[in-house]
A and B are shown apart, each in its own frame.
Chain A
Amino acid sequence: MKNTKIFITKAFSIGFLLLLAFSQVFSQTKTITGKITDSKDGSPIVGATVQPKGTKNGTSTGADGSFSLTVGANVTTLVVTSVGFDRKEINVADASAISLVASNSNLNEVVIIGYGGVRKKDVTGAVASIQAKNFNKGTVASPDQLLQSKIAGVLVTVNSGEPGAGTTVQVRGTSSLRANNNPLYVIDGVPLDGRNAEPGNSNGDGATPSSNPLLFINPNDIQSIDVLKDASSAAIYGSRAANGVIAITLKKGSAGPTKIDLNTSFGRFAGYMKRFDVLKRSEFINALTKYGGASSLNYGGNVDALKDIASSSWSSAYNMALSGGNESGKYRASFYANNTEGFVKGTGLQKYIGTFNGTERLLDKKLTLDFNMIAGSVPHNFGYVFNTTGSAGNLISSALQWNPTQSYRDASGNFIFPTNGTPNPLALIDGIHDKATTTTILGNISGAYKILPNLEYKMLYAINHSEGNRNVNYEGWLQGFNAISGKGLAAIANARLNSQTFTHTLNYMVDLTKKLHLNALLGYEYWKSDYSIDAQSANTFNTNLTQATRIPILYTSIFQDAKVQNPHQSYADPTTELQSYFARGIFNWDDKYLVTATVRRDGSSKFGSNNRYGTFPSFAALWRTSNEDFMKDNRLFTNLAVRGSWGITGSQEFPAGSSLEQFAFSAYNTAGQVNVLNPDLKWEQTKSTNFGLDFGILKGRVYGSFDYYHKNTTNLLYQGSAIQPAPATSVWLNLPANLINKGYEIAVGATVIQNKDFGVDMSFNWAHNDNKLTNFNQAAILSGQVNGQGVSGSFSELITNNQPLLAYYLKPFQGFDQTGNQKIGDNPQFGGDPNPHNMYGATVTVRYKKFEFVANGGGASGYMVYNNTATSVTNIAGIIQGRNIDKNAYNSAEKASSGVAASNRFLEKGNFFKLRNATITYNAGNIGKFVKNSSIYVTGSNLFVITKFSGFDPEVNIDKSNGGYPSKSIEYIPYPTARTIVIGINLSLF
């Protein structure tokens, strides 16, 4: 916290200096006051900008729509602007009551479609957009979480409850046979690498949960997030777009007076969203008797380990942004400091992010220079939690298994290490220090020159550099948690990720005839990415070997103290280069008929020399029926359009160097071939078709869209079995199979009530997806590892023909025999789909005077979750050793001697509804002379979940991939999801 304070002090000092530099002092001669309202119903318009014409001075309206502005004596005209309303010029004499006319706001919003934005009404493909005003409030770890339940067909699963946990984002189902395949993220036109420079903790405890690659973005900086769902919109990103594209646009300065936005919030936990149901103390004591556990296992204490590992600290976030500018130059700078406590003690995430962007128009406004700079440092403290932990367990399993009658410490205050194989959860928190710090810089500069009024050339250069450092310490006094117990372990890893983008585009807009408008784009892009990592580990230290002799020193600070020094290892991935040529034409005939044609030709160094280039075309057409003459007199539709699109997108998200013969140095003085030459390796292709309908009825008060899509992915890049003898067990190949995703999406919004003091808005989305693998003519592939004691080598999911990807495939549970042992059939059978078939979300906004209430929730259904925790961690066998067990086992006919086995007994319906966020805001408006638009809010996240799933959270995706094949919907001793409450204040200063 100390560092945080220093940081904030520094950040604000810099901010005020900048503020002074950009502020200008005007002489004051007269004051104008007034009120701005919506022409439709007279409700106040909050945040509208009022400026004297021709100046950059100005103000904005408060919560009641009123403003007060001091202007020079000679000012006669005011300019009033507000998002969603038409611009209005007004004489100062008429300023007391100004009404603005709503522009056709939904249709005029600018949507990012790649290498430029277009008006929403010109979009021919399936693009969904979410604006800052619709974001959930509270602490948001990563931008992709803002999409949860908000956009039809976009499934965002936060992999666990850990702050900063990776997310699995699927746009219209999964179309990949590779683990960890997310959509392409584009920040202000710069495509990201998708990887993360945060090194893992590879000390043999199981796979490290991945962290989110977007943590370096300040959520308060985001203006909008656009999701390009179909091929027509995504194809401009060609080779990288097969999993969808998520384009994030950051806030920019706007012409007007210098403005400072301040946001601060404080949050804390309100318990588990849902507890994993292990036995209570009294039940545990009964269970000891019931199952014949030794009475000595009742130690007489009374603890609740799940409660005792939970943190009760406050999280905090401070954000300041200043922005301003005039007609020729605009800027925005923001500073963000955030300390997010983890729900589990000793874990958490901090963020220190500065963002600075600006625009300058020069040379008679022909030349536009833009720059963007994000610098973020994200320290991340991890708990002892892993995805594929074996019998040793992790922090969560130790809390689940902890004997509720056993104290954590003995009389002299030392941690007790039980002999039943369960580590002491509080000792794990105290004795394990695992911290990563990732520092990321994303900078870009672009220049656009208008060669002709309608012909613009633009050049962009961007660099994205990220460095991650991880220090892992397991103190030697820790006992009973893995083979390193009692020795101590330290590991240091450093990773670097560096990517650069060069883009050249030529944009030509012309009216070919009176009615036919063309927006043409021609471009070239070069993208390059490098990743390297080095790591060192050591164990068997001389210090901190007993609790009594602990000294406050980290092993990573005294590496040389270790008796076993493992060799220092370093690797640099092959450089990935991508170069692309692309063209797009948008033809608009009289706003009635629109056609978009896109083609992109991509070459990637990752592919075999015979197949480096791929071509990705797409076509889309839209008929805006509501603009036809025959619809002119209709009173129902204000907007009606039908759309259709077809296109091909590609994927190249697999390891660089996979097509090349590679020899590598390894430890132990060895070198050998590690990869097989495959010059024929080529692009994975996804062909998709989309039909859509957009409508707005009742003067736009009800609006929505419907989409049907069909995606067919072929030449799937996957790791096939190498033909032995071979340098490795697998080799990257193109699989001649089809992975089909088809489904539909419905999004509807409605303004139910709109009065001056009272308003109700609702929105709802629903998506259905079916996924199937066909023409897969080879041996089935097992994935979805089941881990834990006694289940090594067990899998739960299968990749095979004519089944959904990763269909559950488990031995059948046949009840219990007479002695209470579970009976498991020998032959596995299919047990359902881990991919949700239905996803839905809803938001309700209620406004009453200065109060606003927003609730957002959503869920998924039609899928199963495999409960690996119940299989091997809280199973009944533990009771004899004095380990806690789950209530389902306790309530069953099972006996303690029953074996452990992966089976469909632990397959549960995942269907759920979550109240993700509920917020009450009081818009206090303007306070005094300088404080504008102030508001205070209380928000609750993950307030409740309705589900029959017995684990922590049915919305879970612990990475249980096997050999690079993905897994889906498996719970295994995950970092739990907490309920959080956040109080925050937002205000602006002018």
Chain B
Amino acid sequence: MKPNKLMIAVIALATVLASCTKLNESLNSSLTNTQTANALGAQGVALLLQAAYADVGGPFTAQDLVFSLQENTTDESLVPTRGGDWDDNGVWRVVHNHTWNANHSQVLNVFNALNKLNFDATNVLAFKPSDAQASQAKFLRALSLYYLLDLYNQYPFRNPGDNLLNAPEVKTGAAASQFIIDELTGAMANLPTTGGPSVATQDAAKVLLMKTYLNRGMFANRTAPTFADADMQQVITLGNQIISGGKYSFASEYFNNFIAGNNGGPESIFAYANASGVSANNSGINGRWCMTTHYNTNASKAPNAGWNGFSTIGDFYNSFGASTAMVGVNNFAADNSGLYKDTAVDKRIGGRYYKGLTDVIGMKPGFLIGQQFNADGTKQKDRKGAPLAFDPTIASTMIETGANLEVTGIRIVKYVPDVASGDYWGGPAGNWLQIFRYSDVVLMVAEAKMRAAAADNAGALVLVNSLRAARGAAALASLPLVNKTNVDDPNTLLAERGRELYWESVRRTDLLRFGVFNVIWQYKPTDDSHYNVFPIPAQALASNPNLKQNPGYAN
């Protein structure tokens, strides 16, 4: 062996080894924290804030997220299993039955989606936002926290810049409500006064404050809510500021609130913007009609004109009438128009000719019941060729096995399908998603007046009747809050809220606040009070030891 040559080789190799890299990963299309802060500057904060705004679309648009937990758990909505469709591992039935557990997929997905908003809004605060940006971020975070509190009775909370591998603190009880109120109150002055409804204005913050004050007593005691007079006075004060501000008015036609191309309309205080033909970053507002319409509802789209799922129940439908069961069924005109004969009936029930929809596909927005027609007056048929006539009776087990399984259940089309050129039925429709609406403000003020220490029932009635007048409904002579044995008793404020705000994701909160979430209604037996709050999802509980499982649920 020649050692000198060996040495040369070893030295050569050592040189190679010495030239090695540090292995610092270059990100290519993503950015580091520092790059985000430095390179983008103020514009970067705007992009971060926009991400938080975009997060609102996800949980509130999809039919299987907040909507499902807030509506399918109530008398307003359910999803019967129809033969080979909508079993979906039983998720829909347990939601309506109140037999869910901590492994329910929707309970998990809502928790994660709301916390994504929570995270992205908090993140804005870590990047030196302007006062206006910080306030909007705080509003969006408060929106997330409010819904988390309502649904789960606690929420995790991170400060900007926290180590994300550490379990965050969890706020619960009175402190949780108070934090939301403090945040909104603190942010108020720097929020914009114009630019709504897709931007967090002062009015939007006031509505969220009203909701927090109004429900604070319920959050504190969900089995027997009590309402502090101070909270009710706050609701009244804030509500009156919005009402007297004069920016909002009742729409001339109820369903105009839910059409494409009107940027939310005159009642909209906070909404998620959509545009016809522009894809959304969420499941799409078109789901709001597809989820309920029959496969053949729109002849030009059959058999993909709907998913034939969500329905409402007969008792809820009847809460529109004085006493007659199935108020609308016998009131259709005999001809193919399917119009209500009785024009005095509350217009919010729908069933009337609606230009731009009925003349295009024959549909009349609102409650779909009985025979459905095409635009040319011909009768629509289901996939077996039987008449497409929605039957109010749903199987008591919520499992449809009969010959009519495709047509059971009354359907609700509240968002008027964007049928412009026939394009946006199943695609990127332009209806703005209503999150806070003026009529809710009016009804909340009325409710607070009735719940105040010195109840002002007359003042409340004036407000309610002003709304009813705008909706073509007769004035009410008296108005109790609730009938605790019948949630669908038409002559109550709870029913009025149902008639006005049905399928707008407030019903579960309402039933809880009126103390009737555990009573029976159609297809739902009485249930235990632990269902007044959803369980902390098993996955979340496993990853954050600061979360405590809600009473009554297995870990």
Q: Which residues of A pack against B, CB within 8 Å?
A: 292-294, 296, 391-392, 418-421, 451-452, 455, 457, 480, 482-487, 504, 506, 522, 524, 526, 530, 532, 539-540, 563-564, 566, 570-579, 581, 603-606, 612, 656-657, 659-678, 720-729, 731, 778-779, 789-795, 819, 821, 826, 872, 875-878, 880-881, 895-902
> Of A566, A577, A669, A670, which one neighbours B21 at CB under 8 angstroms?
A577
**Contacts A524-B16, A657-B25 given; does A794 touch B89 at CB 8 Å:** yes
Least CB distance, A496 to chain B, in whole angstroms: 12
Q: A506-B9, A574-B26 are in contact. Are A729 and B112 (CB under 8 A)?
A: yes
Known: A540-B423, A671-B51, A724-B118. 18 other contacts (CB 8 A): A391-B307, A451-B6, A526-B21, A540-B277, A577-B21, A663-B36, A666-B54, A670-B53, A676-B165, A720-B543, A721-B539, A727-B119, A790-B84, A794-B89, A877-B83, A896-B83, A900-B83, A902-B89
B87 contacts across to A, CB distance below 8 A? 790-791, 899-901
Which of A725, A875, A899 contacts B168 (CB under 8 A)? A725
Complex Cα distance, B115 from A729, in Å, reads 9
Question: Which 9 residue pairs spanning A and B have beta carbons closest together?
Answer: A877-B84, A483-B426, A572-B28, A897-B401, A672-B51, A671-B47, A725-B119, A724-B115, A670-B51
| B300 surroundings in chain A (CB, below 8 A) | 486
Within 8 A of A (CB), among B28-59: 28-33, 35-36, 40, 44, 46-48, 50-54
Chain A residue numbers with a CB within 8 Å of B146 are none
Q: Which of B13, B26, B307, B422 interacts with A504 by CB under 8 Å?
A: B13
- Would you call B47 and A665 a contact (CB within 8 A)? yes
Please tell me if the beta carbons of A897 and B28 are within 8 angstroms of each other in the complex.
no
A247–B199 alpha-carbon span in the complex (Å): 59
Contact yes or no, B5 A452, CB < 8 A? yes
User: Is B150 an interface residue when CB atoms closer than 8 A count as contact?
Assistant: no
Chain A contacts for B32, CB-based, 8 A: 660-663
- Complex Cα spacing A482 to B542, Å: 38
* Residue B428 at the chain A interface, CB threshold 8 Å: yes
Contact of B167 among A524, A571, A669, A723 (CB under 8 A): A723
The CA-CA distance from A487 to B422 in the complex, in Å, is 9
Residues of A contacting B245 with CB < 8 Å? Answer: none
Is B281 touching A667 in the complex (CB atoms < 8 A)?
yes
Measured in the bound complex, the distance between the Cα atoms of B2 and A451 in whole Å is 10
Cβ–Cβ contact A656 & B29, under 8 A: no
Q: Is B384 an interface residue (CB 8 A)?
A: yes
- Verify A539–B51 contact, CB threshold 8 A: no
Min Cβ gap A601→B in Å is 11
Q: What is the 8 Å Cβ interface bit string for chain B, positions 514-555, against chain A (1 contact, 0 not)?
A: 000000000000000000000000111111100000000000
Are the CB atoms of B17 and A524 closer together than 8 Å? yes
B86 within 8 A of A: yes
B21 touches A294 (CB 8 A): no
Judging by beta carbons under 8 Å apart, are B303 and A420 in contact? yes
Which of chain A's residues have a CB closer than 8 A to the CB of B217? none
Choose among B27, B383, B544 the residue that contacts A657 (Cβ–Cβ < 8 A): B27
Q: How many residues of B contact A (CB 8 A)?
A: 99
B196 within 8 A of A: no
Contact of B84 among A486, A666, A794, A872 (CB under 8 A): A872
In the complex the two chains form, is A484's CB within 8 Å of B427's CB? yes
A540, B427: Cβ atoms closer than 8 Å? yes
20 A–B contacts, CB within 8 A, in A order:
A421-B304, A452-B1, A486-B300, A524-B16, A570-B29, A579-B23, A659-B25, A665-B47, A670-B47, A670-B48, A670-B54, A670-B281, A677-B164, A721-B543, A724-B112, A725-B156, A779-B539, A877-B84, A897-B400, A900-B83
Flag if A723 contacts B168 (CB, 8 Å): yes
Q: A566-B279, A574-B27 are in contact. Are A673 and B85 (CB under 8 A)?
A: no
Chain A residues with CB below 8 A from B13, complex form: 457, 504, 506, 522, 524
The listed residue (B27, B105, B541) touching A660 by CB distance below 8 A is B27
Residues of B contacting A571 in the complex (Cβ-Cβ under 8 angstroms): 29
Q: Which residues of A contact B279 (CB under 8 A)?
A: 564, 566
CA distance A672 to B9 in the complex (A): 51
| B550 to A: closest C-beta gap in Å | 16
* Contact across chains for A419 and B296 when beta carbons are under 8 A apart: yes
Which residue of A is nearest B422, CB measured? A486
Q: List chain B residues, Cβ under 8 A from A420.
A: 303, 383
For A896, list chain B residues within 8 Å (CB).
83
- Tell me, rounded to whole Å, the shortest Cβ–Cβ distance linking B296 to chain A: 7
Does B319 lie at the interface of the complex (its beta carbon under 8 Å from any beta carbon of A)?
no
Q: A672 with B120: in contact, given A482-B304, A793-B91 (CB under 8 Å)? A: yes
Given contacts A660-B27, A660-B32, contact A898 B83 (CB under 8 A): yes
Q: Is B476 located at the chain interface by the 8 A CB criterion?
A: no
Q: Which residues of A have CB within 8 Å of B357? A: none
Q: Are the C-beta atoms of A901 and B89 separated by less than 8 Å?
A: yes
C-alpha gap A894/B40 in the complex (Å) = 63
* Identity of the chain A residue whose Cβ is nearest the Cβ of B428 in the assembled complex: A564
**Chain B residues with CB below 8 A from A457, complex form:** 9, 12-13
Pair B303/A421 contact, Cβ less than 8 Å: yes
List the B residue with the shortest CB-CB distance to A419.
B303
Interface residues of B in 397-433 (CB under 8 A from A): 399-403, 405, 422-423, 426-428
Given contacts A487-B427, A670-B54, A723-B543, contact A664 B21 (CB under 8 A): no
In angstroms, Cα B547 to Cα A723, docked, is 10
Most chain B CB within a 10 A radius of its CB, from A419, A571, A576: A419
Q: How far is the CB of A776 from chain B (nearest CB, A)?
A: 12
A417: nearest chain-B partner, CB-CB: B303
Least CB distance, A461 to chain B, in whole angstroms:
12
A419 and B302 in contact (CB under 8 A), knowing A294-B385, A504-B13? yes
Closest to B539 in A: A721
Q: Which residues of A contact B304 (CB under 8 A)?
A: 392, 421, 480, 482-483, 485
Complex contact B85–A900 (CB within 8 A): yes
Across the interface, A671 reaches (CB within 8 A) one of B24, B44, B385, namely: B44
Q: Which single residue of chain A is at the shortest CB-CB distance from B122? A: A725
Contact indicator A575/B25 (Cβ below 8 Å): yes
Q: How many angstroms from the CA of A369 to the CA of B278 in the assembled complex?
A: 58
Query: Does B20 belong to the interface (CB within 8 Å)?
Result: yes
Q: Complex: how many Å from CA A532 to CA B5?
A: 45
Interface residue ranges of B89-124 to A (CB < 8 Å): 89-91, 105, 111-112, 115-116, 118-120, 122-123
Given the known interface contacts A794-B89, A899-B81, A901-B89, the answer about A504 and B16 at a Cβ–Cβ threshold of 8 Å is yes
Partner of A455, one of B9, B25, B48: B9
A572 to B29, CA, bound (A): 5
B 247-272 to A, binary, CB cutoff 8 A, 1 in contact else 0: 00000000000000000000000000
B497 CB–A CB distance under 8 Å: no
CB-CB < 8 A to B122: which residues of A? 725
Q: Does B390 interact with chain A (Cβ within 8 Å)?
A: no
**Cβ A663 vs Cβ B30 within 8 A:** yes
Q: With a CB–CB cut-off of 8 A, which chain B residues contact A452?
A: 1-2, 5-6
Compute how far the CA of A877 lies from the CA of B403 in the bound complex, rounded to whole angstroms: 11
With known contacts A452-B2, A485-B304, A723-B165, A421–B84 Cβ distance under 8 A: no
Question: Which residue of A660, A673, A725 is within 8 Å of B115 (Cβ)?
Answer: A725
* A455 to B295 alpha-carbon distance, docked (Å): 76
A574 with B25: CB separation less than 8 A:
yes
Find residues 367-389 in chain B having any chain A CB closer than 8 Å to their own CB: 383-385
Tell me whether B20 and A526 are in contact (CB under 8 A): yes
**Chain B contacts for A665, CB-based, 8 A:** 29, 47
Residue from A572, A605, A661, A877 within 8 A of B24 (CB atoms): A605
**How far apart are the CA atoms of A633 and B486 in the complex, in Å?**
99
A721 touches B119 (CB 8 A): no
B158 at the interface (CB under 8 A from A): yes
| Cα-based distance from A899 to B166 in the complex (angstroms) | 45
Cβ contacts under 8 Å, B28 to chain A: 530, 532, 572-575
| In the complex, chain B residues whose CB is within 8 Å of the CB of A418 | 303
Contact of A676 among B164, B168, B384, B538 (CB under 8 A): B164
Give the residue name and chain of the A residue nearest to B284 (CB): A483
A296 CA / B26 CA spacing, docked (Å): 64
The interface residues of chain B lying within 8 Å CB-to-CB of A880 are 83, 384
